[in-house]
Structures are given as structure tokens and as C-alpha cells.
Amino acid sequence: MKLLHLLLLTGLSACSAFTPSADDALAPQDINWKAQQQRLKQITQWTAQGRIAVQTEINGGQADFHWSQQDAQHYAIRLQAPLGAGTTWIDSNGQGVSLRTSSGDSLYARDVDRLMRRVNGWPLPVSGLRYWVLGLPSAGRTYQVAQWNEHGLPEVMQQDGWRIEFRDYAYEGSLLLPHKLFIRRLDQDINVRLIIRQWQLSGAMDV
């Protein structure tokens, strides 16, 4: 199985354009990012909905996504192709990760990054995205913040061979979260864009 069988064995047509959602304004103020990291690390349950687009040198595609993170190891991701072309489910139970499609295909691997390489033949950083969507570096891995925005939040971060650009921070309860991420592989022509249209943070107001 090859390219964009991730986006995804669903009959998803190739595309090169990606239409973002409207920008969310951020009130000008300085943010204590270290303090925010500590607050975000306490949130293990969250749900994000939006759109993901992947573009490589020879192909590209996009899908709506629904990501439900139950705890550090358990999550469920649903990818819905445009015009009802098909759905893909990615589920982690803490022991391994399964991928299922509405056309009946099914795959399993011990970790999600290995599964993504098996499906596509190239990496897709799902394990890193679990942290990056919150504006955090992936836990236990070295990273570098290459650029900060005017509010004291990361604007460009590099980790595990990826360049992550955070855009359109907005408040979700009392926390600031990115609503747009541009992610590029540093040694390959792989670009991932995420637009997050809706956040739900369990207990976020109490953190």
C-alpha cells in the first residue's frame, strides 16, 4: 500500500490546494510559556476536530479529522474523505495501533509511526502530533524553538526531523492553543497542515 493510502484507502482524490479556516485573533500580551507547558501537560483528555492536508513531491490529499485522546496511550482518530468517499479509523489501545477503513482494509503495528511508514512508505508524525497540536514539544525528546512570536509562544519548533510552525493561537477556556499548524519534514518533501476548528479539553477550566 502506497502514498496517501493514509488519506486514505478511502478514494480520497489528489489535490494541491488547502483552504484554511478563518483566523482567530489573540489579544496582545506576554505569555509565560513555561507555566503554560506545565498546565498543558496536566491535560491528558482532549478532543480536536478540523482538517488535515498532506502534500508530498508527487501527490497530496486532505480529510476532515476527529481526534479523541483518552489518556497518554489511548486515542481514536477518524479521518473522513470529502464527499463521503470513505472513512479511516486509527485506534491505539496502549499495546499497539490499528488502522481500519470503510472499504474493509485493516492493519496493525506496535506503534503508530511504524504503521504510518508501512502504509505510506514515508513518515507521518502521529506520535509527535499528539503533543504538537497542544503547542507542546513531544515528551522526552530533544527539541529547539527556532522562533518565538510576539506573545512569548513558540512560532517555529524543530523536533525529530520535523519543522513545526504554530499559527493562530486562541484561548480555549483559560489556555492558549494553536488552531493552525504547518509541519514540514526537513529531509524529505513532506508537508502536513492542520486546521483545528474545535477544541474540547476535559477539565481545562480547572487546570
Q: Does residue 1 surpass a pLDDT of 60?
A: no
Where residue 202 falls among pLDDT bands split at 50, 70, 90?
A: confident
In a domain, 11, yes or no: no
Percent helix, strand and coil across the chain, each rounded to 5?
A: 15, 45, 40
128's enclosing H/E stretch is helix 126-132
Q: What is the CATH number of the domain that holds 38?
A: 2.50.20.10
In a domain, 76, yes or no: yes
In a domain, 46, yes or no: yes
Domain count, the chain: 1
Task: Taking residues 46-71, report their average pLDDT.
Answer: 93
Q: Does residue 39 surpass a pLDDT of 80?
A: yes
In a domain, 154, yes or no: yes
Where residue 13 falls among pLDDT bands split at 50, 70, 90?
A: very low
- What is the structure's pLDDT at 207? 45
- What is the structure's pLDDT at 57? 87
> In which domain, by residue range, is 175 found?
33-201
Sign of the alpha-carbon torsion through 197, 64, 88, 17: negative
Identify whether the C-beta of residue 81 lies closer than 8 Å to the C-beta of residue 87.
Answer: yes
In a domain, 9, yes or no: no
- What is the structure's pLDDT at 29? 57
In a domain, 59, yes or no: yes
For 37-41, 62-66, 122-126, 202-206, which range has the lowest pLDDT when averaged over its residues?
Answer: 202-206
